């Protein structure tokens, strides 16, 4: 994948008020698949996906960044299965249940995401504990089918 592809995609989605969360270009038979995941404060709806798909189709078709080989474009939201890695991910998931893996002893902690900033996050379980992002090796939002608001 070229830097020019990433730059073009990132500037296009940013012009729509979206953050580029993932860009994957993979072989798919005689074609390639270009997967682009986006997010924004307040979440991403179908209208955001449609607008991003249209804008990306237009800029990719009018540039030579994808070359001559055919490709399929898929634009999607970030999804809950992607790890929380940036402060904005924590902020956008406040109140959700999360499982952390800690760097110090590889233990895991489950709790609700509380307040967060550029350096760390409060996780509420039996008590509220502050974790620096540097102390967390992985963090995944947990799916709750029957969540009872607390």
Q: Is 148 within the bounds of a domain?
A: no
Together in a domain, 113 and 48: no
Residues 44-58 pLDDT 10s: 999 999 999 999 999
Say if residue 111 is in the same domain as residue 53: no
Q: Is the pLDDT of residue 1 over 70?
A: no
The answer to whether residues 8 and 71 belong to one domain is: yes
What is the model's pLDDT at position 41?
87
In terms of residues, how long is the chain?
150
Q: How far apart are the first and last CA of the chain?
A: 44
Kindly list the distances between the CA atom of residue 67 and the CA atoms of 4, 28, 43, 50, 60, in Å, as whole numbers in the listed order.
12, 15, 32, 24, 10
Q: Say yes or no: 72 and 17 in one domain.
A: yes
Whether 82 shows a pLDDT value over 90: the answer reads no
Residues 61 and 100 in one domain: no
Confidence band for 13, pLDDT divided at 50, 70 and 90? very high
- Specify which residues 73 forms β-bridges with: 34
In this structure, the answer to whether residues 73 and 92 fall within a common structural domain is no
The arithmetic mean of pLDDT across residues 70-85, rounded, is 89
- Average pLDDT for residues 138-144, to the nearest whole number? 91
Distance CA 139, CA 99 (A): 6
The pLDDT of residue 67 is 87
The pLDDT value given to residue 42: 83
Please give the residue range of the domain that contains residue 125.
87-141
One domain for residues 71 and 28: yes
- Predicted local confidence at residue 150, as pLDDT: 52
Place of tokens 């997967």: 35
Chosen domain end from 77, 110, 128 = 77
Q: Which of 34, 58, 77 is the last residue of a domain?
A: 77
Backbone angles phi and psi of 83, in degrees to 5: -65, 150
Mean pLDDT calculated for residue range 135-149: 84
Q: What is the CATH number of the domain that holds 64?
A: 3.30.300.70
40 lies in some domain = yes
Domain count, the chain: 2
Structural domain ending residue among the three candidates 44, 77, 110:
77
φ, ψ dihedrals at 17, nearest 5°: 80, 20
Tell whether 43 and 20 lie within a shared domain: yes
Q: Does 149 fall in a domain?
A: no
Whole-structure pTM value? 0.74
Task: State whether 39 and 102 are in the same domain.
Answer: no
Is the residue at 113 inside a domain? yes
Burial class (CB in 10 A: 0-12, 13-18, 19+), 92: buried
């Amino acid at each position: 994948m070229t830097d020019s592809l990433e730059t073009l995609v990132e500037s296009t989605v940013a012009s729509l008020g979206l953050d580029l969360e993932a860009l994957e270009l993979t072989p798919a038979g005689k074609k390639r698949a270009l997967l682009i995941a986006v997010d924004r404060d307040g979440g991403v709806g179908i209208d955001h996906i449609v607008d991003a798909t249209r804008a990306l189709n237009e800029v990719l078709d009018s540039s030579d960044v994808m070359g001559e080989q055919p490709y399929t474009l898929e634009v999607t939201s970030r999804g809950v299965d992607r790890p929380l890695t940036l402060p904005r991910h924590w902020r956008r998931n406040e109140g959700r249940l999360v499982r952390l893996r800690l760097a110090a002893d590889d233990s895991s902690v489950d709790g609700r995401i509380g307040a967060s900033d550029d350096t760390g996050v409060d996780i509420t379980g039996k008590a509220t504990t502050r974790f620096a992002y540097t102390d967390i090796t992985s963090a995944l939002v947990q799916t709750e089918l029957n969540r009872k608001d607390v």
